[in-house]
Structure 1
Amino acid sequence: MSTPAITCETTPEPKRPGASRVGLIVPSSNTTMETELPELFRRQAEATGHKYTFHSARAGMKKVTKEELLAMVGKAAQCAEAVSDADVDVIAYACLVAVMAQGPEAHEGSEQVIADAAAGNGHPAPVTSSAGALVRTLQEIGAQKVAMITPYMKPLTQMVVDYIEGSGITVLDAISLEVADNLEVGCLDPQNLPALARSLKREGADAVVLSACVQMPSLAAVQAVEDELGLPVITAATATTYEILKALGHTPAITGAGSLLSGAGILTPANA
């Protein structure tokens, strides 16, 4: 008896109505972006009926040092080609500090490199980056002064501060948890974030950046901190989600992740 021939796919499965493909470029040691974003989009799908799938490419990075971050940046185009093979509808470059370590407004160049690589591979798609998304989202909600928490060593946190301030936003305070190993960053307990947020110098702040890092878990704490502090609470992950939805032309309808993604309008600070 002959064995039936196995047919292998040589092209992506045709896109289906009511579904979108999200491409992610992540550090090889990242464990959080591919858990928080699918959970956020699960809530979006629950509210709207639209479905989302995720398709990732990984770039080598273990230690959160400037050298490893710059090496990762050099792999962005190759990763973009790989993820675009899935004919994704949008691409998110999910490593905030790797971009910010290159200097002010580096997200613009990084996003263009990725867009060009995807287009050159025959699958053009809109591109966002966690670095660009955080800056643009803060600008969009009118945040002129912020306080933030990062897992980085202090020199890298200062780079993030400089980058954000280079976009015209004042950083009133920044807490550095000083965790260099990226896997360890992914194991940080988000339930510690409310106490850290309380300790920030927030007088005059327009928003709190609860996690200026896509690898530091924060989703479980976003709504609680926003409710307690009465300030808009943004994270690298929620800002990236916001821009992915915008790129797809979808209105946010996500519960329990802060006013940014609720679709009900951004929370107005009590001191505004």
Structure 2
Amino acid sequence: MYGSRARIGLIVPSSNTVCEPEMARLAPDNVAVYASRILFTPTIEGLKDMKNHVHRSAKELSSEGICQLIAFCCTVGSMIGGAGYDGDLARMIHEASSTVSVTTTTAVKAALSSLNVKRVAMATPYTRQTNEIEKKIMQIMGYEVTDIVGYHDHLEPEALENDMIGRLQPEEAYKLAKAVNGSINEAIFISCTNFRAIEIIDQLEQETGKPVITSNQVTMWHSLRSLGIMDSLEGYGRLFREN
């Protein structure tokens, strides 16, 4: 059967085209992923509104015990309400589904802790407004953001469509990550579950000598570890090889 070791449910923003393919690539043998989509518009209000669809999505993914874990797969969407917002979302999912639940923000914190990182440089596909929000919340959570650059820094928030992010190639994530890397950051975080980046993690680590994490990579890593699956995966960074 598919998912004989584990079946992981993904709550995915409706216009995200990257999360599901990347999560499927990251899944070890006999781990299957299944997604439910929630309505999303790429605005601050849209990020906040996603929580109103979580109950329905979690109920779908837990129907007849389909999934053993459900992950809320949006980075800023799982931190937009402040430092403890990821925990609130995880509780909402658990209450609706009675399954283990995680979020991308929860996974980012777990990954950085496992890597013993406090100073992080961030590369994103966002506008300046969203970057300012994400940087502020990361700092409230206890991290020093040494630099943050967004591919769409030049756009007004209302001009950005999520499909514009999903169409970006991994090379764009690579260039942004190299641009933010400096002398004091301990790691590089490529943020956004709709930003294709898992292909360039190893290359960046080899060139910078620092761990590199991405939103989908940490979400899968934390989901697996939360289920007791400790597989070491090659090709997707130090996090999966050593932690």
Q: Tell me if TM exceeds 0.5.
A: yes
Which residue of 167, 176, 182 corresponds with 1:196? Answer: 176
Any conservation in 1 of the 2:2–2:32 contact (CA below 8 Å)?
no
Q: How does 1:210-249 map to 2 (within 5 A)?
A: 211-249=190-228
Structure whose residues are more often helix by fraction: 2
Name the aligned partner's letter for residue 32 of structure 1.
V
Contact kept? 1:101, 1:156, Cα under 8 Å = no
Task: Give the total of aligned pairs.
Answer: 236
Partners of 1:33 and 1:94 within 8 A in 2: yes
One-letter code of the match for 2:26? L
Map residues 42-191 of structure 1 onto 2, 5 A cutoff.
44-45=28-29, 51-61=30-40, 63-85=41-63, 87=65, 88-119=67-98, 125-178=99-152, 180-191=160-171
Where does structure 1 lack aligned partners over 5 or more consecutive residues?
1-14, 46-50, 120-124, 267-272
The structure whose Rg is larger is 1
RMSD: 1.6
Deviations 1:6-55 (A, max 9, x none): xxxxxxxxx889431111100111111100011011xx22xxxxx01222
Unaligned runs of 5+ in 2: none
Look up the equivalent residue of 2:132 and give its one-letter code. Answer: Q
Cα deviation for residue 198 of structure 1 reads 2.0
Alpha carbons of 1:24 and 1:205: their partners in 2 closer, same or farther (altered >3 Å)?
same
**1:26 matches 2:4:** no
Cα pair 1:100 1:159 within 8 Å, conserved: no
Q: State the alpha-carbon separation in 1 of the partners of residues 131 and 19 from structure 2.
A: 20
Query: CA separation of 1:81/1:198 partners in 2, compared to 1, >3 Å: closer, same or farther?
Result: same
Post-superposition offset of 1:199: 1.6
Q: TM (normalized to structure 1)?
A: 0.83
What is aligned with 1:9?
Answer: none
Aligned mates of 1:226, 1:97 — CA distance in 2: 24
TM-score computed with the length of structure 2 as normaliser? 0.92
1:136 Cα deviation (Å)?
2.3
Go from structure 1 to structure 2 and tell me whether the alpha carbon gap of 1:254 and 1:71 turns closer, same or farther (over 3 Å shift): same
Whole-Å Cα distance in 2 between the matches of residues 86 and 218 of structure 1? 34
